[in-house]
Chain A
């Protein structure tokens, strides 16, 4: 492992040394598809980190980080693979911030990133399957695995004294994996699940699904889907038919568009979303607001952190190369070292340049565990008066 890293680093040095210039970073998120309303803010947050690094003037001499966007479509593995292939082979990106949804992330990783030795840092791929995927040390994520979110959601339900639920999930790898881990966690704490039924995105009619779910019963309906797609349709249909009034929602459901469309009808519903509080989150909000980027959206913090980690790892490795990112990312993300918050990337560069250690805290209290994924904290929110309000952090 180490050997080839060195070897490829050397070969890249040999080719790269002549032309010190732009280092391109791929930004692959789903600009179209079921999370398209989240994607622009995610990409903007990542680019915010990159421009902060460039503006600091402390980055590797003469090197400018340039983001290159591509559309992952969130669900179409073939399209995402083609887009990533283009980024790597045509544009020559050295690292990828993305992809977003778990299925396409796995595909891009095994088909493009691994063959080309390009590291990926995903801000939002949360499938438990990615924890154990073969990655040659190239895959990292700043979002926690859904195995953890399943437990968090089960905890929230227990806290509210809810013992019986019906579950519906979007019929793809994200939804299915999430539902598996939630079912296991909820049953482990003594809850009962009356029915776990999938729903297909992009169908106008969910009456059959709602009929079955309503018949199975349960105190609340757990919706593990997308706010821009079937998840919203399911909630709408459940409300219309009076099948359920209260919904427990997974991270894909958190969006302002959901509130705008359903408004006060879902007051009292609640859910979980990877989120961080504290100095880092506040610092990021200020930074993003100043730059005109929507901070209060899903996975914006994770995106900023993902891009910042890539830059820091390059700095640590002393060169804008894939190998440097892969080899140093865990090092800059975790202790020991000087804690770094959003907006302090310039300071971090200085410390690294002087040979010091940094511990990137970022917007989400980054702590990469296991094979390089976030331990993660979650925000438990409830919808009150047509707005998301925080209950607690978990």
Chain B
């Protein structure tokens, strides 16, 4: 009942935006809200269900974005000819080195293995660079202004969403294998660092996805507005609905995205609910609430943690791919921890950790506030400063600083919820 009311409130907020501002703005908020809800479900799986403190959400979201480029962009034949084979060989070599090091770590006697592993890694790094560097130089010199990277596979962009999940799963597996033994604070710092490294790789490895030069004009699963406007029937239908053709086409595309995203969200939510109520879900919660006891009962805590960590990361990867598809571009420098990690955490905590519906609610509500706090702040400041003289320095400063209200508001909301409703708006049952 409470859930119904709160969701109705969110719906009213978004509809209100449509009526008061514009339907385009409302749909933009709705679409990013859907994406945020999936991210927040992913974090909820890790934190709410298993108590894993992952502060590397940004990294998985960015991997999803990378997947869109690698899957859907047309390949660049000249770059492949210049150094594609060599680059692939380097990656295989790198993987082989890491495997070898891992095997050595397991196989050798305790005393010598540290040195042996270090030696393998060092030699491996030099060999890896020796193979990779000429390849990247060759690839990056192929028409650097327009391409200068290998491109993708040229597959339909919708395929990029599961691929984003897979990519995130692969990295999550590696992180999980190394870092999940650590708990709470340490895992947080480790994941925070790894996310930054993922962004650093995205920014600097131009041969992979053009680095900071960005990839723009990514393929879309929906028609372009301009093509719609030229479709003869479309203009008539738009006129029939009393809309001008440009507005109709932009709305058409945004509604299309909303439907696609909503389909994914519903599927994910149903699966998450099933998982939560399954014996597996009960076991996860048992582990979360008392690890020692669960371990004593013969549950493999490490393996379960790895499982749920990968699952949660997959959701973040899928959401990241969806977001990049929506943006139509991959811009590595736009990934900021405040926006892509900590804001998602605010969503989960406010919505209600451990409750999937709560996470979804938090995703919509917090995203709405994140977008709308600025205009609301402007209005508020206008009201507060109405009495001051037009050229008052304080008045101008306050009006100029309105955009910083956002961070402040998010912090205050998070603190208030933690204090007065520590289990969130929709508490775990």
Contacts and interface: CB of A to CB of B under 8 A. Distances in A.
Determine if chain A interacts with chain B.
yes
Interface of A: 3-4, 7-8, 11, 15, 75-78, 81-82, 85-86, 89-90, 103, 106-107, 110-111, 114-117, 127-129, 131-134, 136, 147, 171-173, 175-177, 180-181, 198
Contact of B226 (A78, A136, A171): A136
A115 B250 contact: yes
B145 interface: yes
B196 to A, nearest CB: 12
Of A86, A115, A175, chain B has the most CB atoms within 10 Å of the CB of A115
B138 interface: no
A115 B224 contact: yes
Given A77-B327, A78-B327, A180-B145, A8 B229 contact: yes
Contacts of B24: 85, 89-90
Given A176-B211, A177-B213, A115 B253 contact: yes
A8 B226 CA distance: 10
A229 to B, nearest CB: 13
12 contacts: A11-B245, A15-B244, A81-B327, A85-B25, A103-B331, A116-B246, A131-B145, A132-B146, A133-B216, A171-B203, A177-B213, A198-B204
A128 B246 CA distance: 30
Contacts of B244: 11, 15
A89 B144 contact: no
Contacts of B146: 129, 132
B155 interface: no
A118 to B, nearest CB: 9
A89 B245 CA distance: 12
The 3 A-B residue pairs with the shortest CB-CB distance, nearest first, are A115-B225, A128-B145, A89-B24
Contacts of B333: 75, 103, 171-172
Contact of A176 (B22, B213, B225, B226): B213
A77 B224 contact: no
B interface majority secondary structure:
helix
Contacts of B246: 8, 116-117
A181 B28 contact: no
B217 interface: yes
Nearest to B143: A132
B222 to A, nearest CB: 11
Contacts of B148: 180
B46 interface: no
A147 B144 CA distance: 11
B22 A90 contact: yes
B226 A173 contact: no
A170 to B, nearest CB: 9
Contacts of A134: 217
Interface string B320-347: 0000000111010110000000000000
Given A115-B224, A117-B246, 20 more contacts: A8-B229, A77-B214, A77-B334, A81-B327, A89-B22, A89-B25, A89-B250, A90-B22, A90-B24, A103-B214, A103-B333, A106-B329, A107-B214, A107-B327, A107-B331, A110-B217, A111-B328, A115-B226, A117-B229, A180-B145
B235 interface: yes
B25 A90 contact: yes
A224 to B, nearest CB: 13
A129 B145 contact: yes
B212 A172 contact: yes
Given A86-B25, A89-B247, A111-B329, A171 B145 contact: no
Contact of A107 (B21, B235, B329): B329
Interface in B185-225: 203-204, 206, 211-214, 216-217, 224-225
A197 to B, nearest CB: 11
Interface string B252-272: 010000000000000000000
B249 interface: yes
Contact of A173 (B22, B28, B214, B328): B214
Interface in B32-74: none
B230 interface: yes
Given A177-B213, A180-B145, A111 B28 contact: no
Contacts of B250: 89, 115-116
Nearest to A78: B334
Contacts of A78: 327, 331, 334
B340 to A, nearest CB: 11
Given A81-B327, A86-B25, A114-B226, A180 B216 contact: no
B327 A127 contact: no
Contacts of A103: 214, 331, 333
Contacts of B206: 176
A393 to B, nearest CB: 25
Contacts of A177: 144-145, 213
Contacts of A172: 212, 333
A177 B331 CA distance: 15
Interface in B86-141: none
Nearest to B331: A77
A83 B18 CA distance: 17
A110 B249 CA distance: 15
Given A129-B145, A177-B144, A107 B22 contact: no
Contacts of B216: 106-107, 110, 133
Contacts of B213: 129, 173, 176-177
A221 B132 CA distance: 28
A172 B212 CA distance: 5
Contacts of B225: 114-117
A177 to B, nearest CB: 6
A90 B245 contact: no
A14 to B, nearest CB: 9
Contacts of A117: 225-226, 229, 246
Contacts of B328: 110-111
B249 A77 contact: no
A3 B327 CA distance: 29
A280 to B, nearest CB: 29
Nearest to A8: B229
B76 to A, nearest CB: 13
B26 to A, nearest CB: 11
Nearest to A116: B246
Contacts of A107: 214, 216, 327, 329, 331
Contacts of A131: 145
Contacts of B253: 115
Of A11, A110, A129, chain B has the most CB atoms within 10 Å of the CB of A129
Nearest to A32: B403
Of A81, A106, A131, chain B has the most CB atoms within 10 Å of the CB of A106
A86 B274 CA distance: 40
A212 to B, nearest CB: 14
